[in-house]
Chains A and B, each alone.
Chain A
């Protein structure tokens, strides 16, 4: 069964680099996606791809069966839920992890 695994919680201090790790057993996964979700808002894409990439303070690492999201200079306002998702082959569905809740200490 295609699955994506990520930690349920991660804690960090303001100004640090925080890493959220994700690994999967998604068959023929070509792409990883990292989404940010604040309660009450629409989840939105941070970074995606089939190779390491960066969007502003967000870096994505990429291996065949894993990916990490690195948030540079983390702020209290970054406290939210971060979802990792993989796309199996040419299937339109994404396989989602359960989300990682990030806590940022001042």
Chain B
């Protein structure tokens, strides 16, 4: 199993350009997440999808859109990139296991995005 895969690994955009970050998981997980990581800020949740067909805003959703294409794939789109969106983006997935379940999240290797 590849686990969680992300493409691309690196990307440089100019301000105002758009792009889509792709994420796929092969663990048959129900839930998927997009985070951004900035120095001193930890992992901040952008959007998540609790199950196929649903998406919800996280802590920092402004400037982003998401699509849960199917159970495997969850994409993140920047419609008009801004320098403030320079960051490392991580996709993760988890399998809900009930009220007392441990919602362990499995992460992809990240996409390093620079917006100039």
A-to-B contact residues, CB < 8 Å: 8, 30-31, 33, 40-45, 48-50, 83, 87, 89-90, 92-94, 96-99
Contacts and interface: CB of A to CB of B under 8 A. Distances in A.
A93 B31 CA distance: 9
Contacts of A83: 42-43
Contact of A42 (B4, B33, B50): B4
B75 interface: no
Interface of A is mostly: loop
B43 to A, nearest CB: 5
Interface of B: 4, 31, 33, 40-45, 48, 50, 58, 90, 94, 96, 98-110
B98 A87 contact: no
Given A98-B42, A99-B42, A89 B99 contact: yes
Interface of B is mostly: loop
A55 to B, nearest CB: 12
Given A98-B40, A98-B41, A87 B103 contact: yes
Contacts of B33: 93
Given A31-B102, A33-B102, A98-B40, A92 B50 contact: yes
Given A44-B107, A99-B42, 18 more contacts: A8-B40, A30-B99, A31-B102, A42-B4, A42-B107, A42-B109, A43-B90, A43-B107, A49-B102, A50-B102, A89-B99, A90-B98, A90-B99, A92-B50, A93-B33, A93-B45, A93-B58, A98-B42
